[in-house]
Chain A
Amino acid sequence: MDTGLIAIAAGLAVGLTGLASGWAEKDIGSAAVGAMIEDDSLFGKGLILTVLPETIVIFGLVLGIMLMGQM
């Protein structure tokens, strides 16, 4: 029973944070592509800005991995 709940919790942690990151990145990504059309040299900055929200899913992943350790 407990093992199952832990697995569900780990899945939720990774899945929901993944959704959140994606949601945030979609806006930044489309803005970055728009900016890149104006000026090619913005590629580097655009890429970096786009991966910024990835931290959210990293925290989720860390939580998930730690939860898996409890199983």
Chain B
Amino acid sequence: MLLPESMSRVLIVGSKSHMEDTVKALYDIGKAHLIDYSEGDDPGFGIGKSFPNAAVASERLVKLRAMEKELGLKEKDKQLENPVSAKEIRELIESNGIEQLEKELFSIVDSRNEIAQQMTERESLIAELRPLTELPLSLEDYRGYESITAIVGKVRDDPSECLKDIEHELFLSPSGKVAAIFVPKGKKEEAMSALSAVGFSEMSVPEGKGSPGEIIAELEKELEELREQKERVDAQLGSLKDKHLSFILASEEELAIETELASTPLRVATSDHSFVMDAWVPTIEVESFKEQLTRETADSVHVDVLETRGRSVHESEETESKFKDPPSKLKNGRIGKIYEYFVTLINTPRYQESDPSTLIAFTWPLFFGLMVADVGYAFAFIIIGAIVLKKTKSTTWKALGTQSIFGGIWALIFGLFMFGEMFGMHFVSYHEVSGLASTDWETIIAHIIPGFTFPAWLMDPSQMSLSIGINKFEEVNTLLKLSVYIGIVHLFFGFLIGFFNVKRQHSTKEAIYEKASFIMMLVGIVMVSYVLTELLLAGKALEGDLTYLIGGGAGVLAVGAVLGFRGEGLNAILELPGIFGNILSYTRLTAIALSKAGVAMAFNYMSIFLLYVGVGGVIGFISGLLIFMVGHLLVFLLAVLSAGLHGIRLHYVEWMGKFFAGGGKDYKPLAVNRLNTKNAEKEVY
């Protein structure tokens, strides 16, 4: 049940003239995982050439993507609400729709670029002229002399002191920052080196006539006009984008599909007149695949089922390297499918090994619920999960939303029937622990509605023994023991899956050495540890059943260690303390539940009395409410992180480490995935 789908290898042979039909038929059927052909695998064969339409299609695709960039299309806008008919889009593309749009778009883009360039020119001219407005000179005053030249630039201090040895005329701006110095032509170098003492940096003076201030005013007027023009062009671009958005997106998709199809021969072996394709097809569908392909290609290709791959590693080792690893098509139910995300986050399961998605779908929410175990937070998790599921389309968020709902449901069950707790407070206090559990919901509600009690059938211990609520802080040892037991069972199943994996891949003998040995060590450690805790902590004497138990445990442990040593050498012995650590690691189930309940209780302790005893009047009430809300929000966020992450971590590290190797190939059949286009009639693409 947990294994990936069984795969069969098929061989498709035909004459080259039928290759295009065959590729289209394969994409239509959508079952075949093509095995890439690499040059030189077989004498007389070579890699095929793309279909003739590939060049045009990919050229158009490049044009489209360039246009998308110009129009500023973002990844998130790339989903149309109403898919467009693929046939119409193809007709539009064929009648040079893309080329026309490109012409229209780029004439606008060109004029926009031109305006932008003109604007930049004017802006830089203004920047050059701006400092000159501080000097009382017109532009023509700086040029056109026979014997003198002008040096214009910024200075830090008054330059007259350092220029006193050179014949000159100085114009200094009122701010003292800009200076124009007129010197005889031969003295420019000398003047420049003298000016370096006041931090002089030269500026260029633009050509032209008139006072800089007037020129700037003129330029700014022009800039304003250009800005208006640019806005108009931008609006044009915007309307062009709105008008053609569906065409652009749909034809991009259509062309991407066409390009992919047309380049499929690059993965196929061809000779002068024929082609040969190798592909993996799920075994249960192989007959219908064969039948459908023969029908769709009008019996012009030969399809042969070469083998159905077994799960033994040796069987795979013996084949050619490109046929060694069949792809893993994971086989799970509706919910298990969603949890595949969390498994593939680590790695894709191999063809020969169990895929734990379905099991994780059961145990992770269970662990999560045990750690949260609070009716209040449970409802929050369920509601948030439902909202996420409703809003999202991405696999990641779908997986997280599902986990939130299932985790929330378990948290609700544990919170209601095991701990009887909401927002860190019990419904009814059957246990009065002074200083810790200060109040309960029944008392609070009774304060508002006098005489309120929860119905007896809901809370009566004699009728429903668990509903009284275990106080997390009173029953610490029970809860710790519970989490250790959960850990032992969980690890046991982990090793068991490992056992069957090895048995399937190699042999029963190896499975016993590699995995059964660890199961025995686990059982032995548990038995010995149980007796030791009874002796050391409970102070019992070593007699009766305990003697048999510790003896048996030591025996099982020893046998397991010997088997493991034969199977894996010294490693097996070194991993012994690891098993012990793994078991203890599950105590986090209780530790996190306790820490969260503790923090929640602390916030309740701070806020409840402000709220309901009425200390501090209105201000007390408001601050109590604030503390309550912010505090519980904080605990909730901590629950997401701690309960969620630690729950999955127990699976990834402690549990999957016992059997999961990963490194499988994803099953990627040749198939067309349309989002923005749709096919009206039944056709390939």
Interface residues of A (CB under 8 A from B): 44-45, 47-48, 51-52, 54-55, 58-59, 61-62, 65-66, 68-69
Contacts and interface: CB of A to CB of B under 8 A. Distances in A.
Nearest to B344: A44
Contact of A54 (B480, B581, B646): B646
Interface residues of B, number: 21
Given A58-B585, A65-B476, A69-B476, A48 B594 contact: no
A69 to B, nearest CB: 5
Contacts of B476: 65-66, 68-69
Interface in B581-604: 581, 584-585, 587-588, 590-592, 594-595
Given A55-B581, A61-B595, A69-B476, 11 more contacts: A44-B346, A45-B345, A45-B346, A51-B645, A51-B649, A52-B653, A54-B646, A55-B588, A59-B584, A62-B588, A66-B477
B652 interface: yes
Given A48-B652, A51-B645, A52-B649, A62 B477 contact: no
Contact of A62 (B591, B648, B652): B591
A71 to B, nearest CB: 11
A71 B592 CA distance: 21
A65 B653 contact: no
Of the candidates A44, A58, A59, the one having the most CB atoms from chain B within 10 angstroms of its own CB is A58
Given A45-B345, A48-B649, A51-B646, A65 B594 contact: yes
26 contacts: A45-B345, A45-B346, A48-B345, A48-B346, A48-B645, A48-B648, A48-B649, A48-B653, A51-B645, A51-B649, A52-B649, A52-B653, A55-B585, A55-B588, A58-B588, A58-B592, A58-B646, A59-B584, A59-B587, A61-B591, A61-B594, A62-B587, A62-B591, A66-B477, A66-B480, A69-B477
A47 B477 CA distance: 31
A47 B653 CA distance: 13
Given A44-B345, A45-B346, A58 B649 contact: no
Task: Give 3 closest A-B pairs by Cβ, nearest first.
Answer: A44-B345, A58-B588, A61-B591
A47 B346 CA distance: 11
Interface in B341-363: 345-346
A65 B591 contact: yes
Nearest to B594: A65
Contacts of A48: 345-346, 645, 648-649, 652-653
A70 B590 CA distance: 17
Of the candidates B480, B581, B588, B646, the one having the most CB atoms from chain A within 10 angstroms of its own CB is B588
Contacts of A54: 646, 649
Nearest to B483: A62
A58 B587 contact: yes
Contacts of B590: 62, 65
A59 B591 CA distance: 9
B598 to A, nearest CB: 9
Contact of A47 (B591, B594, B645): B645
Nearest to B582: A55
A62 B645 contact: no
A69 B645 CA distance: 27
Nearest to A59: B584
A1 B355 CA distance: 55
A54 B591 CA distance: 12
Contacts of B592: 58
Contacts of A58: 585, 587-588, 591-592, 646
A52 B590 CA distance: 18
B20 to A, nearest CB: 35
Contacts of A66: 476-477, 480
B346 A62 contact: no
Interface string B461-482: 0000000000000001100100
B593 to A, nearest CB: 10
Contacts of A68: 476
A48 B650 CA distance: 10
Nearest to A50: B645
Nearest to A60: B591
Interface in B89-114: none
